[in-house]
Amino acid sequence: MTHKVHLDHAHLRHLLKAMIRIRHFEAKCVELYQAQKILGFLHLYDGEEAVSVGVMEALTPSDAVVATYREHGQALARGVDPGCLVAEMLGKLNGCCRGRGGSMHFFHRAHRFYGGNAIVGGGLPLALGVALADKMLERAAVTACFFGEGAVDEGEFHETLNLAKLWQLPMLFVCENNLYSMGTAVERAEAETDFVHKASSYKIAGDKVDGMDVVAVESAARNAVDKIRATSEPYFLECRTYRLRAHSMFDAQLYRSKEEVEAWRKKGPIIRFQTWLEENRLIKAEEVSEIDKEVDAEIAAAVAFAEAGTLEPISEIERFVTMEEIPA
Amino acid sequence: MNAPQEAVASLRMTYREACKQALRQALLADSRVFLMGEDIGRYGGCYAVTKGLMEEFGEARVRDTPLSESAFVGAGVGAAMAGTRPIVEIMTVNFSLLALDQILNNAVTIPYMSGGQFAIPLIIRMATGGGRRVAAQHSHSLEGWYAHIPGLRVLTPATIEDARFMLIGALADPNPTLIFEHVMLYNMEGELSSDINAVDIDHAKVLRAGTDVSLITYGGSLFKTFEAAARLSKEGIEAEVVDLRTLRPLDTKTILASVARTRRCVIIDEGWRSGSISAEIGMRIAEQAFFELDAPLRRVCGREVPMPYAPHLEDACLPQPETIVAVARELVRPT
């Protein structure tokens, strides 16, 4: 049983635009980083865009998302306004978290976006709890939990998968396998590199998908989410992908060859999808430039919004260390 | 409405029973409340605190977990973010270290990092302290160490009243709260006055008034301190006993007021001395009440060793009434 993605023109354009938005957004992030307006760590999603764009297509606004520190793509694909994300990275009060979190810690309550977690594996138990709460409160929602293959090394991965199955929680585990946990190749860290097989040891059904193919990811995610909604059981989706840029901005990439990166760049998710669309005359070259323009205008507006933002007064530095009330 | 003056009824119960009644009240009052932890359901809780609750409230609300501290504490964090009111039990404080990532990196940071978008109204109960001859992986007192962390509330109920009602106060707090139940208190019996149905969780309390020395303590050391105060009284030294009750936020005001009255102070803390809550209290007194003091600050702390098994060694590690008496006496009547 595979889920057919409805490949009408509007949808194809939407997918391409969503990926280009992430790519251009991050290109702007690099500029802002080089201008020392974005500081600290900046983990780029270049090459992995098809994963979050494809998966988010299968989710509804009432579903929940838990992401990692490489979460620009997830936040944008989830529909979070790019302006508040840039502002967050500029440390501004109009950032999605008032400039408290930065690049690695985007949270957005209205989008049910539960972070932005920079402890590898740390988001998995949290996602388990979100799914548990939804189940106990009888909210029909799926919790999509994104994590890299490095998280599989952590005990929390195993504890969480076990409990998700044991408690029959409607969770979509999205393993973004980009082949390296920072600089350690997957086969140097994992004795068993078949992650779907690992999930099956917890009796969780799963599937592998080419994470560089946005339509394949969407189809697999829709398939998975259909099963989750039908059974209220977790599902595991391994997306095989590749990080085309450095781990963060401080990475000399001594652990992989330039040729390897170049070979992957040629099969990058955007170039691949765009070429396929053009070859099959599903989109015209001028439409792509139109998308570029639209996206660049959005990003320019986002940067302007962020630049215009103010800084949180230092007098508020202790605010939210403890909360006065539970936000409604 | 003023009740007519009559003898207030009181109920005799154990600390364990008080803890259980608190949990039961919480489950009855709010359908979003649920319990989660190792062996809390079918087994009845390793200290029998939750015995019978699964039968009464069902397996979904009294949820047995596998031995996955990080996952079920983290699940508590996520469930609290998403609108429920989890109360997690960790068998013993040493096991909480397996969940420290979730406590410190998630429960504490998320309200702040998210710019106040999410509260984490999560309660974690755990047994703490020594005295049961269970050696160095089940006997430590790490509550003072947790009190180092901004964003946590740290409660150390010592009395039956606090065991019964601090949890209810904690449920009204939107912040992650750790409740440390001292293992030697579970079997303790006491009277619970029937006219009390709540306690505040912000303040320390003077439980014995005195004029000569302040004995500041909490948790399992409280009753040893009472005993010391009784012995001191026979020698003509009247000690004031302050039960801290809440280690974070620390009620400095009550501490300073007591020290201002007695001008002498001994802090009794089962935790290790270095970098401890007793060190913090001492420093606050030094910073804010130095000129009120007639004598140096003193401490009676846990010995700085991993807890040994042999009874004579374990006893030598823990604050004992005779040590407290000796230190207080020396302060009041220096030789």
**Residue B8 resides in a domain:** no
Same domain, B281 and B302: yes
Span A12-309: which CATH code?
3.40.50.970
Looking at the structure of chain B, the number of domains it has is 2
Residue type, A109: R
Taking residues A304-314, what's their average pLDDT?
98
The number of beta carbons lying within 10 Å of the beta carbon of residue A46 is 21
Per-domain residue ranges of chain A = 12-309
Q: Read off the tokens for B153.
A: 């509330």
Taking residues A72-88, what's their average pLDDT?
98
E strands in chain A: 64-68, 113-117, 143-148, 171-177, 180-181, 184-185, 205-210, 235-240
**How far off is chain A from B235, nearest CA to CA, in Å?**
45
Nearest to B70 among A101, A125, A327 (CB): A125
pLDDT value, residue A5? 80
Domain boundary among B160, B193, B226: B193
pLDDT value, residue B7? 65
**How far off is chain A from B148, nearest CA to CA, in Å?**
13
**Residue B5 resides in a domain:** no
**Residue B73 resides in a domain:** yes
Domain boundary among B166, B193, B220: B193
Taking Cα atoms as reference points, which of A137, A15, A126, A149 lies closest to residue A65?
A126
DSSP characters for B289-304?
A: HGGG-SS--EEEEE-S
Q: Which residues contact A307 (CB under 8 A, 6 or more apart)?
A: A90
**What is the pLDDT confidence band of residue A171, given thresholds at 50, 70 and 90?**
very high
Mean pLDDT of chain A: 96
Tens of pLDDT along B117-167?
A: 999 999 999 999 999 999 999 999 999 999 999 999 999 999 999 999 999
**What is the pLDDT confidence band of residue A249, given thresholds at 50, 70 and 90?**
confident
Tens of pLDDT along A67-77?
A: 999 999 999 99
Query: Which pairing describes strands B85-92 and B189-193: parallel, antiparallel, or unpaired?
Result: unpaired
**What is the pLDDT confidence band of residue A159, given thresholds at 50, 70 and 90?**
very high
- Most A CBs within 10 A among B62, B73, B98, B110, hence the mutation to make, goes to B110
Domain boundary among B193, B219, B234: B193
CATH code of residue B271: 3.40.50.920
Under an 8 A CB cutoff, do A163 and B72 touch? yes
In chain B, what residues touch A105 (CB-CB under 8 Å)?
Answer: 113-114
**Residue B6 resides in a domain:** no
Same domain, B133 and B209: no
In chain B, what residues touch A128 (CB-CB under 8 Å)?
Answer: 71, 74-75, 78
pLDDT value, residue B8? 72
Under DSSP, the state recorded for B172 is T
**How far off is chain B from A134, nearest CA to CA, in Å?**
7
Range of the domain at B79: 13-193
In chain B, what residues touch A98 (CB-CB under 8 Å)?
Answer: 115-116
Q: Which residue from B minimizes the CA distance to A104?
A: B113
**Per-position pLDDT tens, chain B of length 335:** 444 555 678 899 999 999 999 999 999 999 999 999 999 999 999 999 999 999 999 999 999 999 999 999 999 999 999 999 999 999 999 999 999 999 999 999 999 999 999 999 999 999 999 999 999 999 999 999 999 999 999 999 999 999 999 999 999 999 999 999 999 999 999 999 989 999 999 999 999 999 999 999 999 999 999 999 999 999 999 999 999 999 999 999 999 999 999 999 999 999 999 999 999 999 999 999 999 999 999 999 999 999 999 999 999 999 999 999 999 999 999 88
pLDDT value, residue A4? 72
Under an 8 A CB cutoff, do A125 and B116 touch? no
Is the pLDDT reported for residue A1 higher than 60? no
Same domain, B170 and B44: yes
Same domain, B157 and B215: no
Taking Cα atoms as reference points, which of B222, B206, B223, B299 lies closest to residue B261?
B206
